[in-house]
């Protein structure tokens, strides 16, 4: 059977890895797909010179639209990243009747609804396994492997840079800024690390996970996002003392009132498997009604781990090139006319437990003032740590764990506590999830 021609947009880290995996495993991939898959066209302004010999016979251009418009290309693989021109290229490929594979989580999170509607109208596929958690096949697992289940919640470490920073802070007692500088030197973090450390990258991925888990439209603008830049070594140490570890989690949960969508630093019990995922690795924990909890672990980024997911999508698309579009796996797991209108909850309505750290004057009655405010708002305390004041300091750190309460109630409690004369500075608030 005639091989499938692939047009590769981008020959950077993932593009080069995709080309190498396709070339190295060509025979195995053809056996799985039923026909050969070959890169015949590529667009790149620059690429690793070591690829030059391998690219012999590939038509290379610096104009990605030439690839998208070429009638010989069957599948376009978009690995440029970002919002534009990726959106325009993908929509043009769809308009030209070409299938698309992408690793672009930002593109899918913000423009996926538009892209999938266009693909549905044209009868083509848009595959995006590599957009979430790199080489971990989490999209396929939820969309197909767990299709019999009603998903209850998903919680994931879905940004390796943030996980590396928190791991180093825990293991070596280092400051955030110090570890971030090392992450940048190692190539784990960009020169501008905002997307990683402030949770935007994880929010892109969580948007996609929530959509395929619950059958809701992609709604990136509704994700509550909080980063890890304010986490201190003291918070990490106190969490450990209380039996918890701090992870930067993306969490989405189905509730009676709607869908939770949130990314923030989270204390989770140290005994949980996901609490022991360290370094740059990713992990996603899914709770479903029939199967119970399942955990997916692996490399969340990198050349060949991400290429593994890209090539898997190419195999999937190749298998169904001639299939009736009505009988293909839906892009977002649920049939397009069966998407849910469940609302996304405002953060003030989300219910969780909390870790609170405050600096209080070392004098009688302070604890009673704080617990009195919490009691008035129906917030019960699970544990308290009160440390000796540092040498020569008039203040003492107080650490509390609360039981579950609505975020809005905790917002009000913190507002009242921070205006007490006995409390110095801001209250540090981290959310706690037991994931049981």
> Is 409 part of a structural domain of the chain?
yes
Burial (CB count <10 Å: 0-12, 13-18, 19+), residue 63: exposed
201-245 pLDDT, tens digit per residue, is 999 999 999 999 999 999 999 999 999 999 999 999 999 999 999
Same domain, 203 and 314: no
Task: Return the sign of the alpha-carbon dihedral for residues 90, 92, 95, 100.
Answer: negative
- Please report whether residue 343 resides in a domain: no
The pair of three-digit structure tokens given for residue 142, joined into one six-digit string: 């939820």
Task: Identify the domain boundary among 315, 338, 361.
Answer: 338
Task: State whether 240 and 120 are in the same domain.
Answer: no
pLDDT band at 333 (very low <50, low <70, confident <90, very high): confident
User: Over the stretch 4-48, which tens digit does the pLDDT of each residue have?
Assistant: 999 999 999 999 999 999 999 999 999 999 999 999 999 998 877
Are residues 250 and 168 part of one domain?
yes
> 77-121, pLDDT tens digit by residue?
999 999 999 999 999 999 999 999 999 999 999 999 999 999 999
Residue 53, pLDDT score: 64
| pLDDT of 266 above 70 | yes
Three-class secondary structure assignment of 31-95: HHHCCCEEEEEEECCCCCHHHCCCCCCCEEECCHHHHHHCCCCCEEEECCCCCCCHHHHHHHHHH
Percentage of the chain exceeding pLDDT 90: 88
pLDDT confidence bin for 298, thresholds 50/70/90? very high
Number of domains in the chain: 3
Has residue 143 got a pLDDT over 80?
yes
Cis (ω within 30 of 0) for the bond into 155? Answer: no
Q: Residue 46: what pLDDT?
A: 81
Is 345 a member of any domain? no
Write out the H or E segment, with its range, that includes residue 169: helix 160-172
State pLDDT tens for residues 237-250: 999 999 999 999 99
Q: Is the pLDDT of residue 50 over 80?
A: no
- Give the model's pLDDT for residue 52: 66
**What are the pLDDT digits (tens) for 96-105?**
999 999 999 9
265 and 293 housed in the same domain: yes
Do 100 and 160 belong to one domain? no
Pair (200, 278) in one structural domain: yes
Q: Please report the pLDDT score of residue 322 as a whole number.
A: 67
Is residue 414 in a domain?
A: yes
Q: Kindly list the catalytic residues.
A: 205
210 and 228 in a single domain? The answer is: yes
Please say if the pLDDT value at position 75 is more than 90. Answer: yes
| 151 and 266 together in one domain | yes
pLDDT digits (tens, 9 = 90+) for 269-297: 999 999 999 999 999 999 999 999 999 99
Backbone angles phi, psi at 126, to 5 degrees: -125, 115
Task: Assess whether pLDDT exceeds 80 at residue 391.
Answer: no
Q: What is the arithmetic mean of pLDDT over 363-375?
A: 94
122-136, 138-152, 310-324: segment of lowest average pLDDT = 310-324
The residue segments making up the domain with residue 311 are 4-135+303-338
Does 383 share its domain with 257?
A: no
| Top-confidence residue, 333 or 368 | 368
| pLDDT at residue 243 in the model | 97
pLDDT at 231: 97
Q: How confident is the model at residue 317 (pLDDT cuts 50, 70, 90)?
A: very high
CA atoms within 13 A on the CB side of 406: 11
Residue 370's CB is within 10 A of a number of other CB atoms, namely 24
CA distance 402 to 268: 13
176, 283: one domain = yes
Rounded to 5°, angle at Cα 152 from 147 and 153: 105
In a domain, 220, yes or no: yes
Task: Give the model's pLDDT for residue 343.
Answer: 95
Mean pLDDT score across all residues of the chain: 95
Residues 6+ apart with CB under 8 A from 52: none
Domain CATH for 401? 3.30.70.260
Look at residue 183 and tell me if it is in a domain.
Answer: yes
Residues in the chain: 436
Residues 378 and 396 in one domain: yes
**Residue 176 maps to a domain:** yes
Residue 161 lies in a domain: yes
Output the domain CATH number for residue 294: 3.30.360.10
Burial (CB count within 10 angstroms: exposed 0-12, middle 13-18, buried 19+), residue 172: exposed
pTM higher than the cut 0.75: yes
β-strands 75-78, 99-102 pairing: parallel
- Same-domain pairing of 328 and 391: no
What's the CATH code of the domain at 95? Answer: 3.40.50.720
């Amino acid at each position: 059977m005639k091989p499938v021609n692939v047009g590769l947009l981008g020959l950077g880290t993932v593009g080069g890895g995709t080309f190498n995996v396709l070339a190295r495993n060509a025979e195995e991939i053809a056996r799985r797909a039923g026909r050969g898959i070959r890169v015949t066209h590529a667009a790149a302004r620059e690429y690793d010179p070591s690829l030059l010999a391998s690219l012999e016979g590939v038509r290379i251009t610096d104009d990605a639209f030439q690839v998208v418009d070429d009638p010989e290309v069957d599948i376009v693989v978009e690995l440029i990243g970002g919002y534009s021109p990726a959106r325009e290229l993908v929509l043009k490929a769809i308009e030209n009747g070409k299938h698309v594979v992408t690793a672009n989580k930002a593109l899918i999170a913000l423009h996926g609804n538009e892209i999938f509607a266009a693909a549905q109208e044209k009868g083509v596929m848009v595959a995006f396994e590599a957009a979430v958690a790199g080489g971990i096949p989490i999209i396929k697992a939820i969309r197909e492997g767990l299709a019999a289940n009603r998903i209850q919640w998903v919680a994931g470490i879905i940004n390796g840079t943030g996980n590396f920073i928190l791991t180093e802070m825990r293991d070596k007692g280092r400051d955030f800024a110090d570890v971030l500088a090392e992450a940048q030197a190692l190539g784990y973090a960009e020169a501008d690390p905002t997307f990683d450390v402030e949770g935007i990258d994880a929010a892109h991925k969580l948007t996609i996970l929530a959509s395929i888990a619950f059958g809701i439209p992609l709604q990136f603008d509704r994700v509550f996002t909080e980063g890890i830049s304010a986490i201190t070594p003291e918070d990490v140490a106190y969490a450990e003392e209380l039996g918890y570890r701090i992870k930067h989690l993306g969490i989405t949960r189905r509730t009676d009132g709607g869908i939770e969508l949130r990314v923030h630093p989270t204390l989770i019990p140290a005994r949980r498997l996901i609490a022991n995922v360290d370094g740059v690795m990713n992990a996603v924990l899914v709770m479903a009604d029939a199967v119970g909890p399942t955990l997916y672990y692996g490399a969340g980024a990198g050349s060949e781990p991400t290429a593994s997911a890209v090539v898997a999508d190419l195999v999937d698309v190749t298998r169904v090139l001639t299939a009736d579009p009505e009988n293909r796996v839906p892009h977002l797991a649920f049939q397009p006319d069966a998407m849910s209108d469940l609302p996304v909850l405002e953060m003030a309505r989300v219910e969780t437990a909390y870790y609170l750290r405050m600096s209080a004057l070392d004098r009688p009655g302070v604890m009673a003032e704080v617990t009195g405010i919490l009691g008035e708002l129906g917030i019960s305390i699970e544990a308290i740590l009160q440390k000796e004041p540092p040498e020569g300091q008039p203040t003492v750190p107080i650490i509390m764990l609360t039981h579950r309460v609505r975020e809005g109630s905790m917002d009000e409690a913190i507002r009242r506590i921070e205006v007490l004369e006995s409390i110095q500075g801001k209250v540090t608030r981290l959310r706690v999830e037991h994931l049981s």
